Amino acid sequence: MIVVKQMTADILIKGAAFFDGRRSRPEIDFIAVRENKIIGMGGEEQAGAFIGADTVVCEFSKDQMVMPGFHDNHIHLIQSGMLDKYADLTMASSEEEAAEMVLEFAKKITDEKWVMGFGWSRFAWKNKKFPTRESLDAVLSDRPVLLFDTELHAAWANSCAMEEAGITKDTADPPFGKIDRDKDGIPSGYFYETALSLLAKHAFQLEPHIVKDLIHRYSKRAVKWGITSVSDMTPYLGINLAFEDIFMELDRKGELMLRINAARDLYEDIEAVVALRRKAEESGTGMYRIPYFKQFLDGVISNHTAMMIEDYSDAKGNRGGSLLDLSNLKEAVKTAQENSMSVRLHACGDGAVRAALDAYEYAAGECAAGTSCRHQIEHIEVISFEDIKRFASLGVIASVQPEHIVSGMPSFSDNGYPELLGKERERYTWAFRCLKESGAILAGGSDSPVVEGNPFMGIYCGLERVHPDGTPKGGWNPDEKLTVPELLELYTFNAAFAEGREAELGTLEPGKLADMIAVDRNLLTVSAEELLCAEVLLTIVNGKVVYKYS
């Protein structure tokens, strides 16, 4: 038996199969929790010593599993709440169907000015053409409509939305963004990258009660899936969605259901961010933290806006580009590291991945000993083979989202990446196994609301690498598949390591914070298909039951 100090537990969980975040623990039959800490673990005969008159005993069977709570290492929390509230367009099979779905949804929120939606993908449409304002104007012309694509890197708007934002034929493209235009130069209604912020900054003027509702909507869904902590990527293509005052208020009042780790914009004033970080630490309960910076290095492959080392295979002369000024990136990372703030850089293309690694290597060489950070690169959709080994040598964490392999595409036949990248580069798309075997640490997340955010779906995608229709047979780049134990570690211990909190979280050990879940099946023994049906029976965050299956 392993104990911190012999005392009665508030909660005692017994009887299940235990996975501690790194390995199966068949010798463990119970785990005891008091206040917000794990105080003991051991065999069945030792459990009674922790049971008192007020102990709540939760009993499970060996075909069920108890494990650390999932940490989603990359979400956009406010937009994830919006996915729950606003129009979900993921199942739209055409531009016209998406427009009709928006019309039906608009009838349900007559008290709000803006009509918003998420999740459409032109790659799931038969003609795969970019949508235009005309299709939205035909169904809804008197309210501003703004619809974000499945990757959150493009938006589709009606004429009313453009009028609301003051966008006309004379509106110039913003730096690192593009307004699509018709043959007469009039904005078509399709906005790439930072151009979408011209509209979103109006649509996202949210009242505090709406922000709180969005936080609650996402949190309620997350704990049902066993998510106990998240990394919230608040900078969004020039828009700040941090709402730190509201999060701090909820933390002080004890109203946060899960741990929030919020990123700030890499180009914010460093002294102001350090002061905010200190305020969050000193004024709250520890459930809300500001541990790092984040910024977009590039866009996405599907829009040809990801930064590539060589030309796109279907667009000669086009290598995409950066969404920021690369000339000052290295110094910005260095400044962050000097202030013990880690950096997380969005990099989908192999050129962006290399630029991120170069920036981290520069900072490591320039900063004094003792100022090391756990920097991360987000997404890594494609990587040059030569750069794979640099993650381990530089101590850079690969922040990966397995569900991205299939997001927004029902079948491999809808997958445009082979055409966009060509055969040689396609081999190193979502190269999880190569990264892991090179010594890199991979931390798992979802990028919700790019996908819904259910960790069991992410685990399934990392294991099988197939689209919803089961294609391609054997999986896409099957050599890059990971095992279930490896994938569970991505979402538990590795994610805690990425946060610099492996001494407190990520594994089930006496003395650590009590964030854990019980699942209705043993994830280590069921089939891949059964993973998709897994249900969380119990979620405990900071020693409190925040969800119980009923």
Tens of pLDDT, residue by residue over 301-354, are 998 999 999 999 999 999 999 999 999 999 999 999 999 999 999 999 999 999
| pLDDT over 90 at 408, yes or no | no
Structure tokens at 482: 């990971």
- Mean pLDDT score, 201-219: 96
- What is the total residue count of the chain? 550
Asked whether the beta carbons of 304 and 315 are under 8 A apart, the reply is: yes
β pairing state of 11-14 and 30-34 = antiparallel
Q: How sure is the predictor about 372, in pLDDT bands with cuts at 50, 70 and 90?
A: confident
User: At 508, phi and psi to the nearest 5?
Assistant: -90, 105
The CA-CA-CA angle for residues 391, 499, 503, to 5°, reads: 110
Q: Tell me what pLDDT residue 424 has.
A: 95
Place of tokens 């002294």: 271
Tens of pLDDT, residue by residue over 459-473, are 999 999 999 999 999
Say how far apart CA 287 and CA 369 lie, in whole Å.
30
Q: Examine the domain organization and report whether 198 and 92 are in the same domain.
A: yes
Coil/strand/helix, residue 293: strand
Q: Examine the domain organization and report whether 43 and 94 are in the same domain.
A: no
H/E element, 456: helix 455-464
Structure tokens at 11: 């909660």
Instruction: List Cβ neighbours of 473 (8 Å cut-off, separation of 6 or more).
Output: none
Coil/strand/helix, residue 44: helix
Q: Examine the domain organization and report whether 115 and 186 are in the same domain.
A: yes
- Which residues form the domain of 52? 2-68+511-548
In angstroms, the first-to-last Cα distance of the chain is 32
Q: Examine the domain organization and report whether 98 and 35 are in the same domain.
A: no
Q: Tell me what pLDDT residue 251 has.
A: 97
**C-alpha gyration radius of the chain:** 23
- Mean pLDDT score, 496-508: 97
H/E element, 547: strand 544-548
Report the CATH number that the domain containing residue 19 is assigned in CATH: 2.30.40.10
Q: How sure is the predictor about 410, in pLDDT bands with cuts at 50, 70 and 90?
A: confident
Structure tokens at 386: 């030569």
Q: Tell me what pLDDT residue 368 has.
A: 81
Output 462-467 pairs: Cβ under 8 A, ≥24 positions apart.
Answer: 462/402, 462/405, 462/432, 462/487, 462/490, 463/487, 463/528, 463/531, 464/528, 465/405, 465/406, 465/430, 466/406, 466/412, 467/406, 467/409, 467/410, 467/411, 467/412, 467/414, 467/415
Among 203, 220, 239, the domain-final residue is: 203
Say how far apart CA 343 and CA 326 lie, in whole Å.
15
229 assigned to some structural domain:
no
H/E element, 346: strand 342-347
Coil/strand/helix, residue 394: helix
| pLDDT over 80 at 75, yes or no | yes
364 assigned to some structural domain:
no
Closest CA to 446 of 69, 75, 77, 153: 75
Q: Examine the domain organization and report whether 62 and 161 are in the same domain.
A: no
437 assigned to some structural domain:
no
Q: Tell me what pLDDT residue 3 has.
A: 60
Type of residue found at 28: I
Q: Tell me what pLDDT residue 434 has.
A: 98
User: At 191, phi and psi to the nearest 5?
Assistant: -125, 130
Q: Examine the domain organization and report whether 55 and 90 are in the same domain.
A: no
Q: Examine the domain organization and report whether 103 and 33 are in the same domain.
A: no
Coil/strand/helix, residue 232: strand
Q: Examine the domain organization and report whether 32 and 140 are in the same domain.
A: no
12 assigned to some structural domain:
yes
Say how far apart CA 434 and CA 388 lie, in whole Å.
7
Q: Examine the domain organization and report whether 93 and 196 are in the same domain.
A: yes
Q: How sure is the predictor about 207, in pLDDT bands with cuts at 50, 70 and 90?
A: very high
User: At 112, phi and psi to the nearest 5?
Assistant: -110, 145
Closest CA to 293 of 282, 279, 306, 277: 277
Asked whether the beta carbons of 158 and 189 are under 8 A apart, the reply is: yes
Q: How sure is the predictor about 4, in pLDDT bands with cuts at 50, 70 and 90?
A: low
111 assigned to some structural domain:
yes
Say how far apart CA 462 and CA 207 lie, in whole Å.
38
Instruction: List Cβ neighbours of 392 (8 Å cut-off, separation of 6 or more).
Output: 438, 439, 440
H/E element, 41: strand 37-42
Structure tokens at 374: 């756990």
Percent of the chain residues topping a pLDDT of 70: 99
β pairing state of 145-149 and 115-120 = parallel
Report the CATH number that the domain containing residue 183 is assigned in CATH: 3.10.310.70
| pLDDT over 90 at 163, yes or no | yes
Among 163, 180, 203, the domain-final residue is: 203
Q: Examine the domain organization and report whether 143 and 64 are in the same domain.
A: no
161 assigned to some structural domain:
yes
Q: Does residue 187 have a cis peptide bond before it, meaning omega lies within 30 degrees of 0?
A: no
Asked whether the beta carbons of 28 and 43 are under 8 A apart, the reply is: yes
Give the least confident one: 117-126, 440-449, 512-521: 117-126
Say how far apart CA 233 and CA 324 lie, in whole Å.
17
| pLDDT over 80 at 390, yes or no | yes
Q: Tell me what pLDDT residue 152 has.
A: 93
Q: How sure is the predictor about 5, in pLDDT bands with cuts at 50, 70 and 90?
A: low
Closest CA to 21 of 523, 372, 541, 397: 523
Among 187, 203, 219, the domain-final residue is: 203
Structure tokens at 106: 């608009």
344 assigned to some structural domain:
no
CA 268 to chain CA mean position, Å? 22
341 assigned to some structural domain:
no
Q: How sure is the predictor about 254, in pLDDT bands with cuts at 50, 70 and 90?
A: very high
The CA-CA-CA angle for residues 290, 291, 294, to 5°, reads: 90
Q: Examine the domain organization and report whether 37 and 136 are in the same domain.
A: no
Q: Tell me what pLDDT residue 85 has.
A: 94
Q: Examine the domain organization and report whether 199 and 99 are in the same domain.
A: yes
Closest CA to 301 of 468, 123, 446: 123
When divided into structural domains, the chain yields a total of 2
